[in-house]
Chains A and B, each alone.
Chain A
Amino acid sequence: AQTVTQSQPEMSVQEAETVTLSCTYDTSESDYYLFWYKQPPSRQMILVIRQEAYKQQNATENRFSVNFQKAAKSFSLKISDSQLGDAAMYFCAFDTSGTYKYIFGTGTRLKVLA
């Protein structure tokens, strides 16, 4: 069975600084997708960034980038130039073969300090 682990329950970052959120996963599958989702308080969960396992190149979306280490089964999220609006719960998610049946980690609460 697949598992997703987020070992940092809470992280803090100063505005304009860089922060990295960690995620590890366990699977025997070769075809899968990894995601980072952001869940602001009382608001909808939205996609931050997506990585296809078959792609060696790390995904990047503006200030957000990932460090995908397939052999180590690690998928960390780097947020550069942190903004107050980045404060939220961040969830790492795994999807086998694009079935849309996600397995989520327990989340990391990110606080951004002004």
Chain B
Amino acid sequence: ETGVTQSPTHLIKTRGQQVTLRCSSQSGHNTVSWYQQALGQGPQFIFQYYREEENGRGNFPPRFSGLQFPNYSSELNVNALELDDSALYLCASSPGDRGSETQYFGPGTRLLVL
């Protein structure tokens, strides 16, 4: 295992609702990145947080937002859910915002929007 945990494992919401997904990074890892993996696709980069500040965003609208806390935990919030938001959401932690090490991925939260 990678030492990165996510909760919940599965979630069902209806269109228009809001959702919060949680991630616990490896201890000492200051960077967390979030990815959306639609069914049958590769993960897509949503955004990254480094030392509690957003440090880059992919092509996702502002209704996708995040928080990172000093205790190596983080959240992904999605407002006004749409059907296309149904996906596996992965978080990944790394020791810094730049380096040659790999990221360590969590098991993901599978979100279904009805």
Could you tell me if A100 and B103 are in contact, using CB atoms closer than 8 angstroms? yes
CA of A50 to CA of B107 in the docked complex: distance in angstroms?
Answer: 20
Apart from A45-B90, A101-B33: 9 A-B pairs, beta carbons within 8 A: A4-B42, A46-B105, A91-B42, A97-B98, A100-B31, A101-B48, A101-B58, A104-B42, A106-B41
Interface size class of A (residues with CB under 8 A): 20 to 34
Could you tell me if A106 and B42 are in contact, using CB atoms closer than 8 angstroms? yes
**Chain B residue, CB-CB nearest to A105:** B42
CA of A35 to CA of B56 in the docked complex: distance in angstroms?
Answer: 20
B61 adjacent to chain A (CB < 8 Å): no
- Could you write out 24 A-B pairs with CB less than 8 Å apart? A6-B42, A33-B100, A35-B102, A43-B107, A44-B1, A44-B2, A44-B105, A97-B98, A98-B98, A99-B48, A99-B56, A100-B33, A100-B48, A100-B92, A100-B98, A100-B99, A100-B103, A101-B45, A101-B58, A102-B92, A104-B42, A104-B44, A107-B41, A107-B42
Given contacts A43-B107, A44-B107, contact A102 B45 (CB under 8 A): yes
Given contacts A33-B100, A44-B1, contact A101 B56 (CB under 8 A): yes
Interface residues of B: mostly helix, strand, loop or mixed?
Answer: loop
Could you tell me if A100 and B43 are in contact, using CB atoms closer than 8 angstroms? no
Could you tell me if A99 and B98 are in contact, using CB atoms closer than 8 angstroms? yes
CA of A14 to CA of B105 in the docked complex: distance in angstroms?
Answer: 29
**Residue tally, chain B, CB below 8 Å to A:** 28
Residues of B near A46 (CB, < 8 A) are: 2, 105
Task: Identify the interface centre among B4, B106, B108: most chain A CB within 10 Å of its CB.
Answer: B108
A103 adjacent to chain B (CB < 8 Å): yes
Count of A-B contacts judged by CB separation below 8 Å? 64
**Chain A residue, CB-CB nearest to B45:** A101
Residues of B near A47 (CB, < 8 A) are: 102
Given contacts A44-B105, A45-B105, A99-B56, contact A104 B43 (CB under 8 A): yes
B97 adjacent to chain A (CB < 8 Å): yes
Could you tell me if A98 and B99 are in contact, using CB atoms closer than 8 angstroms? yes
A52 adjacent to chain B (CB < 8 Å): yes
Given contacts A45-B90, A91-B43, A107-B42, contact A102 B103 (CB under 8 A): yes
